[in-house]
């Protein structure tokens, strides 16, 4: 894995999220992938389970935007930072992904850490 290949994978991750197509989602992950949405919560295991989970309650098209940037690659592991934004809700999330890949460039482990950015304080409030 190199930084350019990892960035391409991150771009495909956003495209799959945007398309909500099972094939686009599934192509990102190995059959035996372990996907953690946040620390200390149960993981989703297996490609089919992740596809089903993504499609269970999809975000409405156009209701969000995201960008993630590869910041480090070491062997088969990539680290990224980025943001996910939901303008209508006034919410922005900062994200860190740690992704381990197999030899085919599929994620075999995906861990996400996210935090909602606080809203700016207004004068007098």
> Is residue 99 within 8 Å of residue 116, measured between CB atoms?
no
Domain 3-114 classified CATH 3.40.190.290? Answer: no
Residue 125's pLDDT is 53
Domain boundaries, the chain: 3-114
Average pLDDT on 95-121 reads: 94
> Is residue 73 within 8 Å of residue 6, measured between CB atoms?
yes
Average pLDDT on 101-123 reads: 91
Please indicate, yes or no, whether the overall pTM of this predicted structure exceeds 0.75. Answer: yes
97 has which bridge partners?
Answer: 80, 112
User: pLDDT, tens digit, for every residue of 46-86?
Assistant: 999 999 999 999 998 899 999 999 999 999 999 999 999 99
> Is residue 35 within 8 Å of residue 50, measured between CB atoms?
yes
Report residue 103: phi and psi, to 5°.
-70, -15
């Amino acid at each position: 894995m190199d930084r350019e290949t990892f960035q391409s994978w991150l771009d495909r991750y956003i495209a799959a999220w945007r398309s909500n197509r099972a094939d686009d989602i599934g192509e990102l992950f190995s059959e035996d992938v372990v996907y953690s949405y946040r620390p200390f919560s149960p993981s989703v295991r297996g490609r089919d389970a992740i596809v089903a989970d993504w499609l269970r309650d999809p975000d409405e098209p156009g209701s969000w935007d995201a960008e993630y940037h590869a910041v480090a690659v070491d062997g088969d592991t990539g680290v990224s930072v980025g943001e996910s934004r939901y303008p209508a809700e006034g919410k922005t999330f900062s994200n860190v992904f740690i992704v381990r890949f197999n030899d085919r460039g599929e994620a075999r482990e995906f861990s996400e850490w996210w935090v909602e950015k606080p809203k700016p304080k207004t004068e007098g409030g």
